[in-house]
Amino acid sequence: MSDDLLTRAEALDAADPLAHLREEFLTPDGFDVVSYLDGNSLGRPLRATARLLDEFVREQWAGRLIRGWTDGWLEWPLRLGDRLGAVALGAAAGQVVVADSTTVLLYKLSRAAVDARPGRRKIVLDTDNFPTDRYVLEGIAAERGLNLAWIETDPATGITPGQVAEVVDADTALVLFSHVAYRSSWLADVAEINRIAHAAGALTLWDLCHSAGSVAVKLDDWGVDLAVGCTYKYLNGGPGAPAFGYLRRDLQAELRQPIQGWMGHRASFEMGPGYEPADGVRALLSGTPPILAMVPLHANLDMLAEAGIEAVRAKSVLLTGYVLELADRWLAPLGVEVVSPREAEQRGGHVTLRRAGFEQLLEGLWDNGVIPDYRRPDGIRIGPAPLSTSFAEVHRGLSVLRTLLEKQVS
């Protein structure tokens, strides 16, 4: 039964226009992983990343020392932001910065948003969003004396325009959701939810952590007000890589983020009294940019620009569709349930499988060189990264999972 599925994987790999890019990823000697299926949590490093980091340390840091700041480092948050906006986010220049962590940028933009809607007392969010999003908004509500309006979302799906329309009203300051639901991979209708929120006078903030570099995003076209995302998943920025924030151009003079640091000042090196925000999106900056941590992003944006985000999305759809084929054929008879959308237009870049007892298989999976992502209480996320994952690799990984399941149920 597996031969035809392997033949299909081989055919898909042979027809893959992005297949050559897999060779650009770094594979160390003695690499013990046969199937890496957690690209939606941490992307793999590129060969170019290792080279760029070495060059940066030896030439820019060691060679230029403090002069590196005036050589161009000071502009990296904006330059990389512009490139990221163009390559992956559908955002015109001057609206994206690379800085901080996702949590810090969520706080900055959420606080700025609610302060820009004085007199409105409500923040709308959903119960199954990623914990950081929920925790940040809980803290802001406590700080500012605001109310949280929780939308109950099914962990197997995600937020819908109809649910939002029932809750958003003239008292709503901000709505915050994820474009791709971290648990189920549900792909939200951003444009329609924005329309509903804007009709009520509210601002929208979107979490793009599971979108950027995997799903085609069109922030300008969709009318997004604010957005935040990380760069260590599909953008392969590395552990703890800095996040990015988007602030729509026509809101930049209106919104004021609360962490007033020297890098967001209109004249950082004057060191003068009092805070005066910089013009434009630079005002989102606070402290010294994490320059060393930004180096890997240069390499991946080069690759993403070469591949094209539409081609990346097309392969992602095929990869997750193939996961569904394997799950239906091999895993469903063993009690595994798919809890991600089956329709490609409603599915992000990963597939979540659910079965009681999955946690007991994790050690066996790792011992056999298969690395998926586990989400309590009983979910395994299969997250193939389009630039680095082959269809044969997906086949190998789910074949091991099937074998372990068969032993568990026998």
> Cα–Cα distance between 363 and 409 in angstroms, integer?
17
In this prediction, residues 183-200 reach a mean pLDDT of 97
**Residue 9 to residues 15, 384, 387, Cα–Cα distance (Å):** 10, 14, 16
What pairing do the DSSP bridges indicate for beta strands 96-99 and 337-338? unpaired
Q: What pLDDT sits at residue 1?
A: 44
Asked if residue 244 lies in contact with residue 217, where contact means CB atoms within 8 angstroms, the answer is no
List all residues 6 or more positions away from 363 whose beta carbon is below 8 Å from its beta carbon.
Answer: none
For the segment 249-297, what is each residue's pLDDT rounded down to a tens digit?
999 999 999 999 999 999 999 999 999 999 999 999 999 999 999 999 9
Catalytic site residue 171?
Answer: no
Tell me what percent of the chain is helix, strand and coil, each rounded to the nearest 5.
50, 15, 35
C-alpha of 331 from chain center: 28
Active site residue 122: no
Average pLDDT (59-79) is: 97
Q: Which one from 16, 207, 225, 373 is the annotated catalytic residue?
A: 207
CA–CA separation, 266 vs 270, rounded Å? 9
**Cα dist. 300→67, 127, 223 in Å?**
26, 33, 27
- 356 pLDDT exceeds 90? yes
User: What was the pLDDT predicted at 409?
Assistant: 85
**315 catalytic per annotation:** no
AA identity, residue 85: G
Tokens of 16: 């893959």
- pLDDT of 12-31, one tens digit each? 999 999 999 999 999 999 99
User: Cβ distance 261 to 289 under 8 Å?
Assistant: no
Enter the tokens of residue 123.
């923040």
pLDDT of residue 43: 98
| Helix (H) or strand (E) run with residue 323 in it | helix 309-326
Residue 2 has pLDDT above 60, yes or no: no
Assess whether pLDDT exceeds 50 at residue 179: yes
Side-chain-side CA neighbours of 22 within 13 Å: the count stands at 17
Share of the chain above pLDDT 90, in %: 96
Based on the residue annotation, tell me whether 328 is a catalytic residue of this protein: no
Based on the residue annotation, tell me whether 56 is a catalytic residue of this protein: no
Marked catalytic residue, from 313, 381, 396, 402? 381
pTM given for the model: 0.97
Catalytic: which of 13, 121, 130, 302?
130
- Spatial distance between the Cα atoms of 254 and 340, rounded to a whole number of angstroms: 39
* Marked catalytic residue, from 233, 248, 282, 347: 233
Alpha carbon distance 32, 19 (integer Å): 21
Phi-psi region of 269 (alpha: psi -120 to 50; beta: other; left: phi over 0): alpha
Which entry of 25, 232, 322, 391 is annotated as an active-site residue? 232
List of domains in the chain:
2-45+309-409 (3.90.1150.10), 72-305 (3.40.640.10)
Q: How large is the average pLDDT for residues 107-127?
A: 98
Confidence of residue 156 (pLDDT cuts 50, 70, 90): confident
pLDDT of 214 > 90? The answer is: yes
**Contact criterion met (CB below 8 Å) for 245 and 109:** yes
Q: What mean pLDDT is reported for the chain?
A: 97
Q: pLDDT tens for residues 34-44?
A: 999 999 999 99
Spatial distance between the Cα atoms of 202 and 9, rounded to a whole number of angstroms: 46
What value does the mean pLDDT take over residues 170-198? 98
Q: How far is Cα 389 from Cα 39, in angstroms, rounded to an integer?
A: 9
Cα separations (Å) of 358 from 72, 77, 377?
49, 41, 9
Residues with Cβ within 8 Å of residue 214, at least 6 apart in sequence: 40, 180, 233, 234, 312, 313, 316, 348, 349, 385, 386
**C-alpha dist (Å) from residue 205 to 99, 178, 216, 230, 252:** 17, 9, 17, 14, 14
How much is the pLDDT for 23?
97
Model pLDDT for residues 360-377, shown as the tens digit of each residue: 999 999 999 999 999 888
State the Cα–Cα distance between residues 333 and 409, nearest whole angstrom.
11
